[in-house]
Amino acid sequence: MTLLIEQLINGLQLGTMLFLMASGLTLIFGVMGLINLAHGSFYMVGAYATALVSATTGSFLVGLAAGIAVAAAVGALVELIVIRRLYHRPHLDQVLATFALILIFSEGTRWLFGSSPLWLNPPAALSGSVTLPGGLRYPIYRLVIIAVGIAVAVGMYLLISRTRLGMRIRAGESDREMIGALGVNIARLYTLVFAMGAALAGLAGAMVGALQSVQVGMGEPVLILAFVVIVIGGIGSIKGALYGAILVGVVDTLGRIFLPAFFRHFMSPSEAAGVGSAIAAMLIYVLMAVILAFKPKGLFAAHD
């Protein structure tokens, strides 16, 4: 029972991180109609900047702030130089250009910082564990990650439903000509939205970087999971991204733990571990296929 609860919380933690990635991706698609593969690169950039600044200053928080700022700045720069030429291009061009950006970012980072991973430790104050109701010991840092994810979700909800910027974003999602007619500077809005998405990805990268390691290519598995999330949730829908992220996070985490255990009832332990983990690795994709078979536009479709 405690194992189940622990894994549920782990799944939730993966889900909130996926939400940080997926919300940026889906926002960028919803507002600008752009598919951005380079989103994983901002995740990596955020993690690298955090690791480097933390190591120099000795403060995780300063590092984290730097990580978010650098990811946002790199995002804005990339938007200004490359991305804005792609808004009116076919999706194929967008995929290829942002694939090119991945190659440039990954190889560039490898060139600058080498192939070996950087280490990033969570702040000492958050390194212990707490006892949850029910007697479960759980790392504080992971709980903090969940809290940050929830805070971002609430913040995005407020931003989009309550602020002037949010109103423009909503207008941009429903009618691109309209916001131009209203006198909104579309170019600046787009740069801002793109930088915001990049900042969220950078935040996710920095927070996860302290759990795992900071290395080239770290953004790619997350990026693909985030794609699964927004396909399940409905591309362009922030609400869909939230539900999709939690669904994917929980299903993936539970599958990896419980499927091998499940197969142990039928076969030898080593076989069960192999079959179980292989099937667990496919689980979220099967989930996606099943959802799409019934709802080809995802659970909360907002756009084509």
Partner 1 sequence: MTKPVTRTLAPQPGLPTASWHDRKGLVQIGLLALLLLAPLAAYFLGHVYYVNLASRMTLVAMAAVGLNLAIGYGGMVSFGHAAYFGLGGYVAGISAYHAFDLTPVIGWPLAIPGSDSMLVIWLAAIVLCGLLALVIGAISLRTTGVYFIMITLAFAQMIYYFANSWPTYGGEDGLPIYLRNSLPWVDTGNALNFFLICFAGLVLSLALVSRIMKSRFGAALTMARLNDTRLATAGIAPYPIRLVAFVISAMITGLAGALYADLNGFVSPTMLSWHMSGELMVIVILGGVGRLYGPLAGAILFVLMETLLGGLTEYWKLFLGLVLLLVVLFAKYGVMGWLAGRERHE
296 binds partner 1 (CB under 8 A): yes
Question: Are 242 and 234 contacting, i.e. CB atoms less than 8 angstroms apart?
Answer: no
Select from 5-13, 59-67, 155-163, 296-304 the region that touches partner 1 (CB under 8 A).
296-304
Select from 48-56, 58-66, 149-157, 294-302 the region that touches partner 1 (CB under 8 A).
294-302
**Rounded distance between C-alpha atoms, residue 94 and residue 197, angstroms:** 17
* 180-219 as b/e: b if 16+ CB within 10 A: eeeebebeebbbbbbbbbbbbbbbbbbbbbbeeebbbebb
What residues between 60 and 89 interact with partner 1 by CB under 8 A?
A: 82, 85
Shortest CB 248 distance to partner 1, Å: 11
Select from 121-129, 156-164, 195-203, 221-229 the region that touches partner 1 (CB under 8 A).
221-229
Shortest CB 47 distance to partner 1, Å: 19
130 Rama class: left (phi>0) / alpha (psi -120 to 50) / beta:
beta
Per-residue binding string, partner 1, 84-113, x by CB under 8 A, is -x----xxxx-xxx-xxxxxx-xxx-xx--
Could you say which of 64, 210, 235, 250 contacts partner 1 (CB under 8 A)?
A: 235
Q: Side chain identity at 160, as an amino acid letter?
A: I
292 binds partner 1 (CB under 8 A): yes
Select from 129-137, 152-160, 238-246, 286-294 the region that touches partner 1 (CB under 8 A).
286-294
Question: Are 11 and 252 contacting, i.e. CB atoms less than 8 angstroms apart?
Answer: yes
**Rounded distance between C-alpha atoms, residue 281 and residue 291, angstroms:** 17
Shorter beta-carbon distance to partner 1: residue 257 or 275: 275
Angstrom CA distances, 144 to 51, 147, 206, 265, 292, stand at 18, 5, 13, 37, 33
Question: Are 238 and 22 contacting, i.e. CB atoms less than 8 angstroms apart?
Answer: no
119 binds partner 1 (CB under 8 A): no
Chain positions contacting partner 1, by CB under 8 A: 29, 35, 82, 85, 90-93, 95-97, 99-104, 106-108, 110-111, 220, 224, 227-228, 230-231, 235, 274-275, 277-282, 285-286, 288-289, 292-293, 296-298, 304
